Amino acid sequence: MEKNRQIILVSRPPQQGWLSEENFRLVEAPLPQPREGEILVRNHWLSLDPYMRGRMNEARSYALPQPLGEVMLGGTAGEVIVSKHPGFKPGDQVVGRLGWQEYALSEGAGLRKVNADSATPLSAYLSVLGMPGVTAWIGLFDICQPQAGQTVVVTAAAGAVGSVVGQLAKLRGCRVVGVAGGVDKCRYVVEELGFDACLDYKVGALWPALKAATPERIDCLFENVGGEIFDTLLGRMNAHARIALCGMIAQYNSAPYPLRNLSSLLVNRIRLQGFIVTELTERWPVALADLGEHVAAGRLKYRESVVEGLAQAPAALIGLLRGENFGKQLVRLV
């Protein structure tokens, strides 16, 4: 009988420390069989995202912690292979949150049918045409609200979210400065994605490079990193600037960083807003429609880092948190 391989969370990492592969376990379970009103999905792709680290903790947050002994949460893209649900048929390609497993049952709630083809592969619906793309769109346009000619700074600029933010800001007519780790990432951000400049934080001396790249200072900051980089950027903000606080990946495995430039929020009357894109479902349709038009027209580029096989997911997540990914981090299951 065919088995369903799954990865479960068996222990929690330290609250302020690094997770390890020992926190996970690869198990086999019987292949689930759908009942009336259910479908069986064969997952083809897993999405790995920074938020997963926070969900592994027991601390109070915007969502309940990942339960121990259960399949690790996460976004998926796959194909319906058996359907006893009137809204789905075998062969439908669906995107949802079915977790780190090769097969999953679903009653259809939270699944989105997509029409993936050779021009728009299924994996794109976990990146530029999925949660990362919508995150970029909502954070930039609903929170930052940049105007043509203004300066937008994007941290983690070569990542799945940051790369889309910068391209959308350029389409709006902004000056766009990215922050990324490494020469190759910065070269990609400028030469391939069209950013005006990119600051390599691994070089050090971020402040003088930032001043040179932002002669008119910063009107909009799309923040994915937190920590010392965020603190440095706070010292370069314009009056009435806007900050979309999307993530703080630099602090997910360490103690909170003591901000020295927090007073900039008051002095510059800055509007800072954190947001969780899964709580803003009413904005998804318009965001996805706009993103789809840009992708179809070739105006939005995206890049994927892919590892092969379910067993590689824990190591790939650790690598993502260390900044080893380039673009969207995915696991290919078949």
Span of 62-66, 72-76, 140-144 with lowest mean pLDDT: 62-66
Between CA 117 and CA 97 the distance in angstroms is 21
Beta strands in 231-316 (DSSP E): 237-245, 271-274, 304-308
Q: Are 38 and 106 in contact (CB under 8 A)?
A: yes
More confident residue, 303 or 252: 303
What is the mean predicted confidence (pLDDT) over 197-214? 95
Q: Which two tokens stand for residue 146?
A: 């940049």
pTM for the model stands at 0.93
CA distances from 301 to 87, 271, 286, 294 (A): 32, 29, 19, 9
> How many whole angstroms separate alpha carbon 277 and alpha carbon 178?
22
Report the topology of domain 131-278. Rossmann fold (3.40.50)
CB atoms within 10 A of CB 266: 8
Element (H, E) at 212: helix 206-213
| Domain residue ranges of the chain, discontinuous segments joined by + | 3-127+302-332, 131-278
Question: What pLDDT sits at residue 251?
Answer: 82
The tens digit of pLDDT for each residue in 228-264 reads: 999 999 999 999 999 999 999 888 777 788 999 999 9
pLDDT at residue 225 in the model: 94
Q: Which pLDDT band, with edges at 50, 70 and 90, does 60 fall under?
A: confident
Do 131-278 and 3-127+302-332 have the same topology in CATH? no
Give CATH superfamily name and number for 3-127+302-332: Medium-chain alcohol dehydrogenases, catalytic domain (3.90.180.10)
Residue 1 scores a pLDDT above 60: no
The sign of the torsion formed by the CA atoms of 230, 232, 238, 240 equals: positive
SS3 content of the chain, % helix, strand, coil (to 5): 30, 25, 40
Q: Which residue has the higher pLDDT, 140 or 324?
A: 140
